[in-house]
Amino acid sequence: MVMSGTPPSKRRDRSIAPTRRRLLKAVGTSATLGAAGVAGCLGTIGGDAENTVTYATLNPMSGTYNSLGPTQRKGAELAAKHINESDEFGFELKLVKGDTETDPTAAQQAARRLVNKDGAQFLFGAISSSVALALNEFAQDEEIIYNPGGAAVPITGEACNEWVFRAETNTAQVAEAVSEYTVKNLGNRVWFHISDYAYGESVLKRVRSRMEAADANLEVVGVSRSQLGASNYDSFISGIGGSDAQVAVLGMTGSDLINFVGQAASQGLKDRVNLMSPTMTFAVVRGALGKAAVGTYGGVRYVPQLETGDNRAFVEAYREEYDGEDPDNFARVGYESLRMTARGIEAAESNEPAAVKDQLPGMEMDTIFGRNQFRACDHQAMNPTWMGELVEGSGETAGVKLLSKVEGKDALPPCEQLGCSLG
Amino acid sequence: MSAATTLLEQVLNGLTIGMVYVLLAAGLSIIFGVMDVINFAHGEFFALGAYVGLSVALATGSGGFWVALLVAPLLVGLVGAGVERFTIRPLYGRNPLYHILLTFGLVLIFKDVITLIWGQQPYQFAKPPLLSGTVTLFGFDYALYSYFVIGIGALIALGTWLALTRTRYGLVIRAGSMDRDMVRYLGIDIDRYYTIVFAFGAMLAAVGGVVLAGRQNVAPGMGNAVIIPAFIVVVLGGLGSFRGAVVGGLLIGVIQTFVRSQFPFLEGLAVFLLMIAVLLLRPQGLFGNPEWGTGGEGGDLLTAGDADVFDSALKRRIGVGLVGVLAVTPLLIGLPSYYVNTLVVNILIWALFALSLDFVMGYAGLVSLGHVLFYGVGAYATVLAVMHLVPSLFVALAVGIAVSAVIAWVVGYLSIRVSGVYFSMITLAFAELFFSAVFKLEWAGSSDGLFGFDPVYGLFAGPSVGSIELVGGVSVFYYVVLAAVVGSYLLARQVMRAPFGSVLQAIRESELRTGFIGYDVTVYKRRAFVVSGGLAGLAGGLAAVQTGGVSPEFLAWIRSGEVIVMTILGGMGTLYGPMLGAGVYLVSKELLLGITEQWQGVLGLIFVLFVIFVPRGLVSLPGLLAGRFDRSPGGGTDVLAEEETEVTD
Amino acid sequence: MSDGDPLLRLDGVRAGYGETQVLDGVSLDVNRGETVALIGRNGVGKTTTLRTILGAVTPTAGTVRYDGEDVTGLGPIETVRRGVGLVPEERRVFPGLTVEENLAVGRYGGSETANRRDPEEVLETFENLGRRRRSRGTDLSGGEQQMLAIGRALVAGADLLLLDEPTEGLAPLIVDRVSELIREINEEGITVLLVEQNVAVALSLADRVYILDRGRVVFEGAPAELEANESVMERHLGVTV
């Protein structure tokens, strides 16, 4: 935990049974919903409690990250469907949904609603790191399992706890894939430009240190910061263009990245300096940039064309379910979070999060990326990562050409470096 | 690259972004100057321009950009005309606050309409091939499109200037922005011109949207992102001055660019500091005239204080009954604890926040647009106290109250020097300043916020908050919140009943007269502000405990907007009205969430209807209905006030 | 005295602002071609009377008839369109507009009366203004502003011209010039209702005088009558001439 000195796992001393358990035991009392008459249901509580798993998917459907929420949810919905259809799982999965509004308070309240009212025992979602951190706390308080959709390292790093299991690839893993390749192939005179917030800083820190480790000749030509949400990058672009940098590493994402690259392409920077960003290959970014993205480089957490694990089957199933649409990284995270956790539920033969949380760490399973697991010491999935180049695509959108791969075990730095030690 | 060309390039960068500001600010400024309407929805016209332009371009195919540039502003202008005709016109003669409220409600509606039609993903607007790429001028390569932006902005500014100075409509509009009533006294129906002015302003914003879409992606948040800078430009240039909008826009663009490269730490803060400085030193801006555009400030703030139908004995019984229900029922009925621990606690916290706002807005008439500042500061102070001082919940809340009260004193001291619209603007600037600042502070958790804090009920140790539960899973914290909120209400009511309260109300009704009687108006306002800030800080602290942490979202401007909506919805000037408003708003949201994802738009619509038809809020509804049946005059909707009260004959 | 119906008739007008009652039953007539002066101390309701005539204030009781028509509560735009013009207290020239532009605004409004003046004509007659035609409203002196305000009302076109304290704050020489101007205007056929603090000016210009005191008419008659009646002058005006 960032601020207090006590190790994360010893932080709480829960002497009273948590709310949710108490509620489950109160099965049978006819709980009237009062004057509100809300269109929700008490659902499975009081029913086949042993064979039902209520999973909540809490996605940013409004607020700053609202363009990413829908696919995240679709992945989870597809997983729920497959789990219910498959013989592999002996339970029924009920999916309940909520909106984080990209706001920690609203997210936490939505989570409370899903847990206390709808009886969710498992929670997935969020992309913004402040929302994910709030939900980390929530999961620990409520003793439910949480799969974060955010990529910030502290979520399974300094702020980790035993209830959190992350299937999303974190920024340190991506940094492994991009740093060495970039400094060795794109240029060792590097300019860093980041958005001034936690994610940007983490890109700067990790990519720089990995680059230094890979190549002693690294020369950091310049570091510049822009405000989160700034929409005009001309002056930074001019600055980079005027320096002797060979490659610019961009620690930004979403609209910021889209605008930067768009404007850089306009100004001709892309032709003079290699542009690399850990999130350059995101579907949302490629979709918005169109041809302007061609010729840039980025980290790859997931692309539909991967030949790993059972990705092909996943992609086909997704296309069929969603009118030919390809899954993106967030859909993959939604799908795999639920599936991997479901496997833990099945193996533990229990829908009690406490039992599942002991089952999952280190449990090997087949995933979209092949054999994978939630690492025991921090519950982070050991996903492989790639370096990619954006090339001409079949339409307006650029395609991704994979340049190199870092295996799961190599991509994830040791737990001591990340600040978590769960056992 | 030589230093001279770098400088030139920076200047061009500044002018490019500045031109977009000009397009936005010009419309906003003219609308305010002529109509006394502060149009918060202006950013949405900008966004609408981009989206409509996108669709037009896609439908047209090649050459679409140019078609869009022509057609989209016209369509958005039509929308603007409709908005003026049906929503703003009913509000003429009212205090400018109601325009702010109405247009804020329109923002909520427009945002959801946009997401409904176009979805949430960002789009890229294809630049026309003619304008792509770089061009070499003045010895360096620069994006051709940027030159285009500067060029088209200049062209439109010129065209607008010509329209204002060379045409009959322009002349009447300019006269109207200086002295609207005198224009009427010359027999000209200036109201007819308003539709044109508003539509024209919307068109300008739409052009800005299409033009900017070529360099930036088109996303639902784009309206929000530009409205605050647009206000800064208008304040700097002078409300109501077209020339000010042009100079201000370019100046802000250039300043932003240079701050970015020379003083990167100040990026994002500099413009708010500038706005505050301008409002304190020269509120009329560069080109505004202090006497212009303020002739006839419009009516009073419509409070529900006098519109009460129920007598105080009945109200007391209702109040006691309500508190009793809130205190006892959760323990009896086996409601899912979500409702009590989360929903009702949330309502109580917002009710407290709304109460704090009513204190200054409904009683002293201080329209604070940045009240979220005290809420957020209280939240941060509470969390930091637990993390660094003692983990005691009560000590931390007290620290939160104290810190926000102090900040309120400072902000109040500075803000109260200016009045009316300027006061509202400066409170907004302070809130945005703190919001931007907190991102840069490591010790405040920067963008991640501070989580994992664990307050306890004792002083140094004790049962952790949230761990003690009573019958039915109801957390003890619920009672803490209930006690805090009820206590705050009683405190506020006591303060208002004392002479202090009467002086505040007198100030709201006529500051001038109250000053003449001999009261130091400034001191009273400041005290009200401090109490209000403390209460808001308490609300923020409780919210932080509820959330389990604090993050920059606690300071987001939209919260200021929401609390104002609740206050007006309930009926300001009553203390309990806004609290009721908070409850109704949040319960409605809860109900709507089950039905549609566009709940904000629906709430926005309801709010707009209230602003137009039931401005005194829910509390006044019984009186309104009673009036309908009795057919007695007085109470209910306001009559357009032609002139403000005069002292001499 | 004139013949036929008066151009303007107020009958039992009560009016005020909000809860403050200012006019408590005012009745007066203005006949065509006359110059009528309305005088009284500060705060008695003189400006309110003009505003009520113009329609900026709606009476709570009583009627205002103009040219035979009941215009009570029609509002300023409609009343002005029928031929009533106002030169307000404080003049209210548009500060950021030039003299020419001020007049032009007048031209776009007002009424279609035969008494409409051409802006060029006004600029010629009021030589000061003609020389300053490109100057902004704020740059004009008090006297020039007064001329402009009057000129603007003439350009707009008025059969009945309401003047509210036209000589207030002006130097004696300018006061004379303005007085002269008002006399000329009246001689050219425009009916004038003049509110004045300056009793001497009022008496020199008026055909008839009304004195207002606490919202009521307390005296009506020719200037000579008033000058002869010292007690009235002292009681209601606090003035001896």
- Decide if B649 and C80 are in contact by the 8 Å CB cutoff: no
Nearest to A142 by CA among A129, A161, A128, A126: A161
| Alpha-carbon span C195 to C210, nearest angstrom | 10
Of B339, B388, B448, the CB nearest to A129: B448
* pLDDT surpasses 70 at C1: no
Say yes or no: B10 contacts chain A, CB-CB below 8 A: yes
| Alpha-carbon span A107 to A124, nearest angstrom | 12
Fold of A172-300+384-416: Rossmann fold (3.40.50)
Say yes or no: B460 contacts chain C, CB-CB below 8 A: no
Torsion sign across C-alpha atoms A109, A112, A113, A114: positive
| Alpha-carbon span A323 to B93, nearest angstrom | 54
Q: Take residue C99 and report the two structure tokens written for it.
A: 């003299």
Show which residues on chain C lie within 8 Å of chain B, measured between beta carbons.
17-18, 20, 22, 42-48, 51, 54, 56-58, 76-77, 80-81, 86, 88, 92, 94-97, 101, 104-106, 108-111, 152-153, 156
Say yes or no: B510 contacts chain C, CB-CB below 8 A: no
pLDDT in tens, B306-319: 555 556 777 788 88
Q: What pLDDT score does B634 carry?
A: 44
- Decide if B257 and A231 are in contact by the 8 Å CB cutoff: no
- Decide if A99 and B220 are in contact by the 8 Å CB cutoff: no
- Decide if A67 and B9 are in contact by the 8 Å CB cutoff: no
Say yes or no: B590 contacts chain A, CB-CB below 8 A: yes
Q: What pLDDT score does A31 carry?
A: 36
Q: What pLDDT score does B305 carry?
A: 65
Nearest to B571 by CA among B228, B304, B176: B304
Q: Take residue C213 and report the two structure tokens written for it.
A: 């005191």
Q: Which residues pair with A276 in a beta bridge?
A: A249, A297
The percent of residues above 90 in pLDDT, for chain A, comes to 65
B169-207 b/e (C-beta count within 10 Å ≥ 16 → b)? ebbbbbbbbbbbbbbbbbbbbbeebbbbbbbbbbbbbbb
Q: How confident is the model at residue A311 (pLDDT cuts 50, 70, 90)?
A: very high
Q: Residue C181, Cβ neighbours under 10 Å: how many?
A: 18
Chain B residue numbers touching A23 (CB-CB < 8 A): 336-337, 473
Query: Helices (DSSP H) in B548-620: which residue ranges?
Result: 557-570, 576-593, 599-613
Classify A281 as helix, strand or coil. Answer: coil
- Decide if C86 and B185 are in contact by the 8 Å CB cutoff: yes
Q: What pLDDT score does C186 carry?
A: 93
| Alpha-carbon span A189 to A186, nearest angstrom | 9
* pLDDT surpasses 50 at A365: yes
Kind and range of the H or E run holding C226: helix C223-228
C82 to chain B: closest CA residue: B187
Q: Which residues pair with C20 in a beta bridge?
A: C17
**Tally of helices (H runs) and strands (E runs) in chain B:** 25, 4
Q: What pLDDT score does C4 carry?
A: 67
State phi, psi for B634 to the nearest 5 degrees: 90, 155
**Cα torsion through A400, A404, A406, A411, rounded to 10:** -70
Q: How far is B126 from chain A (nearest CA, A)?
A: 9
The DSSP call for residue C117 is: P
* pLDDT surpasses 90 at A381: yes
| Alpha-carbon span A202 to A279, nearest angstrom | 13
Residue with tokens 């263009």: A241
Nearest to C137 by CA among B143, B618, B289, A133: B289
| Alpha-carbon span A287 to A231, nearest angstrom | 18
Nearest to B352 by CA among B542, B182, B497, B117: B542
Residues in CB range of C59: below 8 A, 6 or more apart: C13, C14, C15, C23, C52, C72, C73
Fold of A44-169+309-383: Rossmann fold (3.40.50)
CB contact at 8 A, B456 and B465: yes
Task: Report domain extents, chain B.
Answer: 8-281, 368-555, 558-624
Mean pLDDT of A109-130: 91
Q: Which of C21, C51, C105 to mutate to test the interface with B (most CBs of B within 10 A)?
A: C105
Nearest to B398 by CA among B385, B387, B412, B411: B385
* A302 φψ region: left (φ > 0), alpha (ψ -120 to 50), beta (else): beta
Say yes or no: B549 contacts chain A, CB-CB below 8 A: yes
Q: DSSP readout, B113-156? A: HHHHHH-SS-B-PPPPGGG-SEEEETTEEEEHHHHHHHHHHHHH
Q: List strand residue ranges (DSSP E) for A175-235, in order.
A: 189-195, 219-226
Distances in Å between the Cα of A23 and the Cα atoms of A138, A184, B466, C105 are: 17, 57, 15, 75
* pLDDT surpasses 70 at A326: yes
State phi, psi for C33 to the nearest 5 degrees: 80, -5
* B640 φψ region: left (φ > 0), alpha (ψ -120 to 50), beta (else): beta
Q: What pLDDT score does B43 carry?
A: 93
Q: Residue C227, Cβ neighbours under 10 Å: how many?
A: 14
| Rg over CA atoms, chain B | 26
Most confident stretch, A73-82, A230-239, B493-502, C7-16? A73-82
Query: Helices (DSSP H) in B389-420: which residue ranges?
Result: 393-415
The percent of residues above 70 in pLDDT, for chain A, comes to 88
Of B186, B291, B642, the CB nearest to C105: B186
Can chain A be said to touch chain C, i.e. do they have 3 or more Cβ pairs within 8 angstroms?
Answer: no
Q: What pLDDT score does B640 carry?
A: 32
CB contact at 8 A, A395 and A306: no
How many A×B Cβ pairs under 8 Å? 248
Q: What pLDDT score does A171 carry?
A: 92
Mean pLDDT of A143-155: 94
pTM: 0.82
pLDDT in tens, B185-237: 999 988 888 888 999 999 999 999 999 888 888 888 888 888 888 989 998 99
Q: What pLDDT score does A49 carry?
A: 53
Can chain B be said to touch chain C, i.e. do they have 3 or more Cβ pairs within 8 angstroms?
Answer: yes
Q: How confident is the model at residue A254 (pLDDT cuts 50, 70, 90)?
A: confident
| Rg over CA atoms, chain A | 22
Q: What pLDDT score does B8 carry?
A: 83
Q: How far is B175 from chain C (nearest CA, A)?
A: 6
CB contact at 8 A, C111 and C157: yes
Q: Which residues pair with B333 in a beta bridge?
A: none
Classify B311 as helix, strand or coil. Answer: coil
Q: Take residue A210 and report the two structure tokens written for it.
A: 């990995």
- Decide if A105 and B9 are in contact by the 8 Å CB cutoff: no
Architecture of domain B8-281: Orthogonal Bundle (1.10)
CB contact at 8 A, A54 and A97: no
| Alpha-carbon span A79 to A84, nearest angstrom | 8
| Rg over CA atoms, chain C | 17
Of A66, A104, A138, the CB nearest to B220: A66
Nearest to A199 by CA among A135, A263, A137, A130: A130
| Alpha-carbon span B553 to B574, nearest angstrom | 29
Class for the domain spanning C8-232: alpha beta
Kind and range of the H or E run holding A52: strand A52-59
Kind and range of the H or E run holding A328: none
CB contact at 8 A, B27 and B204: yes
Distance, CA of C175 to chain centre: 15
Task: Report domain extents, chain A.
Answer: 44-169+309-383, 172-300+384-416
Residues in CB range of B228: below 8 A, 6 or more apart: B428, B432, B557
* pLDDT surpasses 70 at A32: no
Task: Report domain extents, chain C.
Answer: 8-232
Kind and range of the H or E run holding B90: none
Mean pLDDT, chain A, as a whole number?
85
Kind and range of the H or E run holding A257: helix A254-266
The list of chain B residues with pLDDT below 50 reads 1, 292-297, 632-649
State phi, psi for C25 to the nearest 5 degrees: 95, 70
Say yes or no: B649 contacts chain C, CB-CB below 8 A: yes
Residues in CB range of C206: below 8 A, 6 or more apart: C35, C36, C37, C194, C223
- Decide if C76 and B184 are in contact by the 8 Å CB cutoff: yes
Max distance between CA atoms of chain B, in angstroms, equals: 81
Of A70, A141, A263, the CB nearest to B466: A141
Say yes or no: B336 contacts chain A, CB-CB below 8 A: yes
Strand A92-99 to A219-226 pairing: unpaired
Q: DSSP readout, C152-203? A: HHHHH--SEEEEESTTTT--HHHHHHHHHHHHHHHHTT-EEEEEES-HHHHH
